[in-house]
Amino acid sequence: MGMTIIEKILSKHSKYGIVKPNENIDIFIDTRAARDFGGANVVKNLKDNGLDVADPKKTYFTFDCNPTGSDQKYAVNQHICRLYAREKDITIYDINAGIGTHLAIDSGLAWPGSTFVSTDSHANIMGAICAFGQGMGDQDIAATFAKGAVWFKVPKSVRLNFTGKRPANVTAKDIVLNLLHIFGANKLLGFSVELHGEEMNILTLDERITIASMGTEMGVIILLFPPNKLIAKYCEEKTGKSIELINADPDAQYEQVHEIDISKFVPMVSMPGKPHDSVPVSEVKKTKIDSAFIGSCTNGRMEDLRAAAAILKGRKAAPGVLLKIVPATDDIWKQCLSEGLIEIFKQAGALFSNAGCAGCAAGQVGMNGKKEVTVSTGNRNFPGKQGDGDMYLASPDTVAASAIAGYITTSDDIPEKPALFETGKSSGTAATGVSKKTKEPKPTEVEGRVWFIKEDNIDTDMIFHNRYLTITDISQMGQYALDNLKGYENFAKKAKKGDIIVTQKNFGAGSSRQQAVDCFIALGIGCIIAESFGAIYERNAINAAMPIMTYKNIATMELKDGDNIRVNFVNGTIKNLSNNKSASIDKFSDVQFEIFQNGGLL
């Protein structure tokens, strides 16, 4: 039986000639990276556990979350990484370099068929060049730094076959927003997804990066593009390696195959709060905006900025509308300078900043304020992620056109005179302090009071908001658990040790932050049970020995808030002690049980 693309890549990096879905295997990682956000905790994990770096030449730090070093706590964490890098002879892409995942592609640290991990939850952007990339938590990355390998569950594969011709007004961002409209945030949860068809084959590298970068928002492990000759040539020039084109075997087995007519795609935007809540631009046209942002790992490439410049040339942002532009890397910044794009942006009234992640990181260019309406090319608009206002997601074309118009619109429908604000009316709508864990026998059965949270897609910003990410002491994290989830702002004050959380699909979607698990550990939560978990969150919980379990159907238990339940991790049983009704859930895997009994991965 043949293999899919992901199976081929993982098998070549394991001791097995053939790998199959759901197998837990150790895989060798070609490139291991940690960012300024999370990097200090990686260093702490290594030092606390007496671990060394397996191969400094394959190990990197990338400082892209706070490229100005303007936050004191970020600056401290960055310097912790710098000192460790000097000690171990590790290369740093410092605050003047740009986004780590883009640097990995452009500097030849990743190539078709390679493996790459980072503390960046968008490391699966490597699917753009048909490489395996994964965002992982601090413990995973520390283990990878130390071993050069990490365990991974081989994902099932889905194949998307694109037919028809792409409409001229549909950009790469529109493609992925159309896919989010079709599949949402969890219909492809945990799958490796291959994109096939002539329109996919002719996409440029920058376009592939845009689409691949939002695989995380779709809940997939990775969106994989089979490389064409142009992509292979680019990677050969960057790596000096001879690149072998990778494709699935003709008899590869897929869990699902979907036929998608790209000719029906239209320009799209994501509604505030949910990247997967995408609608045609026509449904929100003329929504007044306060600001516009172009950048992020999704749309900060050269082609994105050229497209924006073509629309902005000879025009100005509408009065009162603040336009912010941030390139993905410093090389792109320099190219904008040499091509005259910076002059166009400045003449249009834009703030053009140094390279980095920008608005996706707290305190950086691209954030908005309460009641501020922003249209952005970012990949996430979870509540509070880029500020307290409303954040619409769109393509660079749509954002540039909207900045000029003063309201959301497309590049073919920019008014002669911009919309103005009405007077008197507002717009629309250093790592410290955690002691080492000691190995103690862990109970395989727990009892506790239930918090039944009936909501899908609870993301990590709702669980542990990014404004608290500089906290490294687990004992200080519990007080902030779920305080950004509507209706549960006081969860931490009401929760008791041993309580059990029961929820629905895709719990822990979004970021790679370990704190979204550790905050529950700090509170003494006994177990989290969900219909499914975000892929990175699931790994982080297992690695931290936080008991998590999944179910297919627990309706027979007639569960409600406040019930007391008993959960057995080994047998996969759950009993409602309030009414004596039981159900079966998925028991611990061997890997999960081993890590749980060990007290954690490290």
Number of Cβ within 10 Å of residue 393's Cβ equals: 34
Cβ neighbours of residue 308 under 8 Å, at least 6 residues apart?
294, 325, 345, 396, 397, 399, 400
Q: Is 300 domain-assigned?
A: yes
Q: What is the pLDDT of residue 430?
A: 43
Q: Are 432 and 470 spatial neighbours (Cβ–Cβ below 8 Å)?
A: no
Asked if 301 and 352 sit in the same domain, the reply is yes
Q: pLDDT exceeding 90 applies to what percent of the chain? A: 84
Q: Is 91 domain-assigned?
A: yes
Phi and psi of 255, rounded to 5°?
-70, -35
Secondary structure in 3-state letters for 131-199: CEEEECCHHHHHHHHHHCEEEEECCCEEEEEEECCCCCCCCHHHHHHHHHHHHCCCCCCCCEEEEECHH
Q: Are 117 and 60 spatial neighbours (Cβ–Cβ below 8 Å)?
A: no
Domain-ending residue, one of 264, 288, 307: 264
Asked if 129 and 141 sit in the same domain, the reply is yes
Where do we find the tokens 């904008």? 336
Residue 540 pLDDT > 60, yes or no? yes
Q: Is 513 domain-assigned?
A: yes
Asked if 127 and 107 sit in the same domain, the reply is yes
Q: How many helices (H) and strands (E) does the chain have?
A: 20, 25
Q: Are 323 and 292 spatial neighbours (Cβ–Cβ below 8 Å)?
A: yes
Name the helix (H) or strand (E) containing 60.
Answer: strand 59-62
Asked if 255 and 283 sit in the same domain, the reply is no
Which one, of 323, 331, 378, lies nearest residue 351 by Cα? 323
Domain count, the chain: 3
Average pLDDT over residues 402-431: 81
The span from the CA of 128 to the CA of 102, in Å, is: 11
Whats the size of the chain, residue-wise? 602
Domain-ending residue, one of 264, 285, 313: 264
Q: What is the pLDDT of residue 365?
A: 82
Beta strands of 350-413 (E only): which ranges? 351-352, 373-376, 390-393
Q: What is the pLDDT of residue 472?
A: 84
Residue 514 or residue 467, greater confidence:
514
Domain-ending residue, one of 264, 279, 304: 264
Average pLDDT over residues 228-251: 94
Average pLDDT over residues 282-287: 95
Over residues 127-147, the pLDDT tens digits come to 999 999 999 999 999 999 999
Residue 431 pLDDT > 60, yes or no? no
List the domain range (segments joined by +) for residue 215: 5-264
Name the helix (H) or strand (E) containing 538.
Answer: helix 535-543
Q: What is the pLDDT of residue 424?
A: 67
Q: What is the pLDDT of residue 571?
A: 94
SS3 464: coil
The span from the CA of 283 to the CA of 398, in Å, is: 14
Asked if 344 and 228 sit in the same domain, the reply is no
SS3 235: helix
Q: Is 532 domain-assigned?
A: yes
Phi and psi of 268, rounded to 5°?
-130, 160
Which one, of 153, 163, 278, 283, lies nearest residue 217 by Cα? 278
Residue 281 pLDDT > 50, yes or no? yes
Name the helix (H) or strand (E) containing 519.
Answer: helix 515-523
Asked if 452 and 556 sit in the same domain, the reply is yes
How far is the CA of 313 from the CAs of 115, 166, 307, 347, 518, in angstroms? 40, 26, 10, 8, 48
Q: What is the pLDDT of residue 362?
A: 64
Q: What is the pLDDT of residue 425?
A: 60
Give the model's confidence band at 439: pLDDT under 50 very low, under 70 low, under 90 confident, else very high.
Answer: low
The span from the CA of 74 to the CA of 500, in Å, is: 34
Q: Are 155 and 6 spatial neighbours (Cβ–Cβ below 8 Å)?
A: yes
Give the model's confidence band at 363: pLDDT under 50 very low, under 70 low, under 90 confident, else very high.
Answer: low
Average pLDDT over residues 175-179: 97
Average pLDDT over residues 433-439: 53
Give the model's confidence band at 463: pLDDT under 50 very low, under 70 low, under 90 confident, else very high.
Answer: very high
Q: pLDDT exceeding 70 applies to what percent of the chain? A: 96
Asked if 211 and 287 sit in the same domain, the reply is no
Which one, of 497, 519, 499, 500, lies nearest residue 508 by Cα? 519
Q: Domain with 371 in it: what CATH number?
A: 3.30.499.10
Q: Is 305 domain-assigned?
A: yes
Asked if 252 and 284 sit in the same domain, the reply is no
The span from the CA of 16 to the CA of 345, in Å, is: 52
Residue 441 pLDDT > 80, yes or no? no
The span from the CA of 64 to the CA of 357, in Å, is: 6
Q: Are 110 and 104 spatial neighbours (Cβ–Cβ below 8 Å)?
A: yes
Q: Two tokens at 488?
A: 């549960």
The span from the CA of 271 to the CA of 277, in Å, is: 6
Q: Is 303 domain-assigned?
A: yes
Q: What is the pLDDT of residue 435?
A: 52
Beta bridge partner(s), residue 61? 34, 92
Q: What is the pLDDT of residue 427?
A: 47
Average pLDDT over residues 466-487: 91
Q: What is the pLDDT of residue 357?
A: 83
The span from the CA of 160 to the CA of 478, in Å, is: 41
Q: Are 59 and 32 spatial neighbours (Cβ–Cβ below 8 Å)?
A: yes
Average pLDDT over residues 442-463: 95
Asked if 113 and 158 sit in the same domain, the reply is yes
The span from the CA of 162 to the CA of 199, in Å, is: 7
Q: Domain with 574 in it: what CATH number?
A: 3.20.19.10
Q: Is 431 domain-assigned?
A: no
Give the model's confidence band at 440: pLDDT under 50 very low, under 70 low, under 90 confident, else very high.
Answer: low
The span from the CA of 578 to the CA of 567, in Å, is: 13
Residue 207 pLDDT > 60, yes or no? yes
Residue 428 pLDDT > 50, yes or no? no
Asked if 79 and 184 sit in the same domain, the reply is yes
Q: Is 416 domain-assigned?
A: no
Where do we find the tokens 């936080």? 546
Asked if 215 and 318 sit in the same domain, the reply is no
Q: Two tokens at 583?
A: 């159900």
Asked if 335 and 464 sit in the same domain, the reply is no
